[in-house]
Amino acid sequence: GESVGLHLPTLSVQEGDNSIINCAYSNSASDYFIWYKQESGKGPQFIIDIRSNMDKRQGQRVTVLLNKTVKHLSLQIAATQPGDSAVYFCAENFAGGTSYGKLTFGQGTILTVHP
Amino acid sequence: DAGVIQSPRHEVTEMGQEVTLRCKPISGHNSLFWYRQTMMRGLELLIYFNNNVPIDDSGMPEDRFSAKMPNASFSTLKIQPSEPRDSAVYFCASSPDLSLNEKLFFGSGTQLSVL
């Protein structure tokens, strides 16, 4: 899972393996979740999102799982490639008053893929 | 589309100087966000606009920080006077609309170093 402070969680995998990145979110009222990928020197890039009325959503090589009971989100990357090496952030949002669009980001997980 | 464009990419300045960061959102996007990223605090939302109007500036750290959006295609974030603790990467992001399920498109960021 993600942590606060200087030391980001890290995950090292071999090319071709499946990767699972975890995130514990904070607000039980959050109803929209996004995973972003940030490569070195670039801004975060959208990967996949999921609404709170779903528990699973699949994209191309990626799957997001949502467990609202324990406030847990995971990102699964199939057949991980060296180009997947990046920092991965989960983000949550809740529709409270004027909070639309006000995403709260986790601290990030560093994924390193070895050829 | 060129995406969200930020300038400068890098800024090095001395404590006490004024710093202005610039952002051009994606054409047609109605919402614009300024984020700051540091190792210690991760990605923090500073302020966001909808239709050029500031909606929530509760994340702006101090009165030294100000942001404007004079038109739909341009925004600035100004720090005056700058301090070493302002050193961070500042990201601008835009989204098509300020609604619950709109993902953000980030620029490449401005790396600010205040000496």
Tens digit of pLDDT for each residue in A24-55? 998 888 888 999 999 999 999 999 999 999 99
Residue-wise burial string across A60-98, b where 16 or more C-beta atoms lie within 10 A, e elsewhere:
eebbbbbeeeeeebbbbbeebeeebbbbbbbbbbbbeee
* Residues paired with B38 in a beta bridge: B42
Instruction: Output the pLDDT for position A31.
Output: 85
**Dihedral sign (CA A41, A43, A49, A52):** positive
- Residue written as token pair 């929530």: B56
Average pLDDT over residues B34-59: 92
- Are A101 and B48 a contacting pair at CB < 8 A? yes
- Check if the beta carbon of residue B56 is closer than 8 Å to that of residue B48: yes
| Predicted pLDDT of residue B103 | 82
Residue B70 CA to residue B66 CA, distance in Å, equals 13
Whether B19 and B78 have beta carbons less than 8 Å apart is answered as yes
Burial of B105 per CB tally in 10 Å (0-12, 13-18, 19+): buried
Residues from chain B contacting residue A6 (CB–CB below 8 Å): 39-40
**Which residues does chain A have within 8 Å of residue B100's beta carbon, measured at their own beta carbons?**
31-32, 93, 95, 100-101
A-side interface with B, Cβ within 8 Å?
4-6, 31-32, 34, 41-46, 49, 51, 89, 93, 95, 98-108
**Closest Cα of chain B to A29: distance in Å?**
13
* Contacts (Cβ under 8 Å, ≥6 apart) of B99: A100, A101
Q: How far is A5 from chain B (nearest CA, A)?
A: 5
Q: Cβ separation of B4 and A43 shorter than 8 Å?
A: yes
Asked if residue A5 has pLDDT above 50, the reply is no
pLDDT tens for B1-18 read 689 999 999 999 999 999
For chain A, what percentages of helix, strand and coil (3-state, to nearest 5) are there? 5, 50, 50
A-B contacts (CB, under 8 Å): 60
Give the residue-averaged pLDDT of B14-28.
97
**Pairwise CA distance, residues A67 & A83, whole Å:** 28
Q: Which two tokens stand for residue A38?
A: 């940030």
B103–A34 C-beta distance less than 8 A:
yes
Give the start-end residues of each E strand in B25-109.
31-38, 42-50, 53-56, 65-71, 74-79, 88-95, 105-106
* Chain centroid, CA B38 distance in Å: 14
Q: What is the pLDDT of residues B52-98, one digit of tens each?
A: 999 889 999 889 999 999 999 999 999 999 999 999 999 999 998 76
